[in-house]
Amino acid sequence: MTAPMRCNWLWIAAAACSLAVAPVLAANGTGLNPRDYAYQSQLVVDGSAALYAVKLNEEVYQLSVRADLSDLRVINGLNEEVPVAIRRPVEPRAQAAEFDPLPLFPLRGSARAPSDALKLQLRAAGASIDLTQQAQKSGIGVTAYLLDVRGPELPVAALRLSWPAQTQDFSSRLKVEWSDDLTLWQVEDLGLPIINLHYAGQSFVRAEVKLSARKTSFLRLSWMDQVPPDLILTAVEGQRQSSAVETTRQWVTAAAGPSSHPGDYDFDLRAHVPVDRLNVKLPELNTIVEAQLLARGEQSTPWQSVGSARLYRLKAPVADEISNAPVTTALTSARYWRMHITAAGGLGSTTPTLQAGWLADELLFLARGPAPFQLLYGNATAPANGRAALDLASLPAREGSIETHAAELGPMRRLGADERLKAAAPPVDWKRLVLWSVLVAGVATLLAMILRLARSLR
C-alpha cells in the first residue's frame, strides 16, 4: 500500500472514531435521579390545591450543600421534577414616629399610688380623668413616676428618659406597669436596662427602652434596683407606633473557636440559616466592649463586615443582670462569623457564645403529577441554575389570587452516599479529547509523509 493510500485510511479511521464517540456523548445526558441527592424529606399534601408552601427547617439548611439552596429539588411520584420557588416570610412593619414629651408626675411615699401625689377629678361618670400635681411634701422621696399616655390611637412603643447631667453613675432595671383606671395595675415590661456610666472621658448612657406597644391610658415607672438618691427623672418622652409584633425567631448557638488573630473570636453555625439578628453572650459579668461583626459563606472567601455593636453584660445592684438587646443585621446566609474587639478591655480568659436569630424561608411548589412529593437536597453536582423555577407573578389569577395551602415537611431520610455532598471532579470533555486526538494523528501522519518523501529523494 502506497503512502497516500495509508494516509487516507488514517483519516477514515479517525473520522470513524469521532462518529463512534458521538452517540456516547449524546447519551451522556440523563434526567433527574433521586439517588444523586444525599437526603430526602417527604412533602405531605392534602391533595386539594395546586400550590403548596412549606417552611424549611434547620436540618435542610444544615445538609443543603449551597447557601442559596440552589441544590434543592422537588419531585412527584414519577420522579418528575416540579416547579418551585423560595420566598422570604413577610414581617409586619411598624411606622415609627418622633419622640414627644409625656405628662410626668412623681409619686412619693411608700404606697406609690397616684392618689398620694395627684388630685384626680372624674367627669362624665368616669369617662374623663383630670390629673393635677399636688404640693410636694419635703423629705419624702420619689418612689415611682406616673405617665399620662392618653390621646392618639397609637400606643407608646418606646420611652426616652432624662435626668440631670450631674447625676451619679448607675445601672438599673426599669419596671413598667399599665392601667386604664389608676387602680388596677398590671406589669407591662420588666427588667428594662437603664445605664449611666462615665469613666476616663468616656460615657455609656442608655436612656431609651422599647415597650410592648400596648394601648392604655397610664404607665407607672419604678426602679427594680437601688439607684443614687440624686436620680430624679426630669422628663420622659414617648414614641408612638402601630402595634406590630416582631415575628418570633429561631436561634442557633455556636461557641467560639480558635482564631489566629488576638482579640478575634470565630464561630461556625454549621448551617446556612438566613440570619438577621445577632447576639453575643459575654462570658463574664461587668463587661462592656465595642465589637465589629464579620461573616463569610465559605472558609476560602474573605470576611465581610456586617456592622458593629456595643455589647455589655452588667451586674444589677440587687439581683440578676442586664445585657444588650440582639443586634439587627442585614440578611445573610453566611455560615462562618467573627467578632473583632475594636476597643480595649477584652473579654477576660473565657470565650463568648454567638446566638444567631433567623426566620425560615418558604418553599412553594406546584403539585403537578401524582403524589408522593419529595424534597431532595444535598447534591454538590446539581446545576446552580438547573432547577425548574416557579414564577409566582405569572400564575393565572382570572378568578382571583391562587390560594396557597400548607404542606408538611417530613423527617429527613438518607438517599445517596455522602460523596454527593462533595464536588465531583470536572467531567471529561470527550469532544475536545477526540478533536485533539484527530489533530495529533493528522500531524503525525503528515510528519511521516514528509520523512518518507525526504528518503525517496536521496
Number of H helices, E strands in the chain: 4, 29
Query: Which ranges of 372-420 would DSSP assign to H, the alpha helix?
Result: none
Q: What is the structure's pLDDT at 401?
A: 66
Going by the DSSP 8-state scheme, the letter that residue 397 receives in this structure is: -
The interaxial angle of helices 3-26 and 430-456, nearest 10 deg, is 180
**pTM score over 0.95:** no
Q: What is the structure's pLDDT at 63?
A: 94
CA–CA dist 105, 221 (Å, integer): 10
DSSP E strands in 272-416: the ranges are: 275-281, 287-296, 304-315, 321-323, 327-332, 336-341, 353-358, 362-366, 373-377, 404-406, 408-414
- Round the CA-based radius of gyration of the chain to a whole number and report it: 35
Q: Are 344 and 290 in contact (CB under 8 A)?
A: no
Where does residue 413 rank: exposed (0-12), middle (13-18), buried (19+ CB within 10 A)? Answer: exposed
The residue among 414, 411, 410, 407 whose CA lies nearest residue 378 is 414
Q: What is the structure's pLDDT at 96?
A: 64
Q: What is the structure's pLDDT at 125?
A: 46
Q: What is the structure's pLDDT at 131?
A: 56
Q: What are the φ/ψ torsions at residue 317 (nearest 5 degrees)?
A: -60, -35
Half-sphere exposure of 140 (CA within 13 A, CB side): 15
H/E segment holding residue 456? helix 430-456
pLDDT in tens, the chain (458 residues): 454 444 444 444 444 433 333 333 333 334 578 999 999 999 999 999 999 999 999 999 999 999 999 999 999 999 999 999 999 998 877 666 789 999 999 998 765 555 555 555 555 444 445 555 555 555 578 899 999 998 877 889 899 999 999 999 999 999 999 999 888 899 988 889 999 999 888 899 999 999 987 889 999 999 999 899 999 999 999 998 765 667 899 999 999 987 778 889 999 999 999 999 999 999 988 888 899 999 999 999 999 999 899 999 888 776 678 889 899 999 999 999 999 988 766 787 788 999 999 999 999 999 999 999 999 999 998 888 888 888 877 766 555 567 899 999 999 999 877 777 776 555 667 777 788 888 888 888 888 888 888 777 76
CA–CA dist 85, 80 (Å, integer): 16
Q: Report the DSSP beta bridge partners of residue 360.
A: none
Which residues, 6+ apart, have CB-to-CB distance to 428 below 8 Å? none
Q: What is the structure's pLDDT at 144?
A: 93
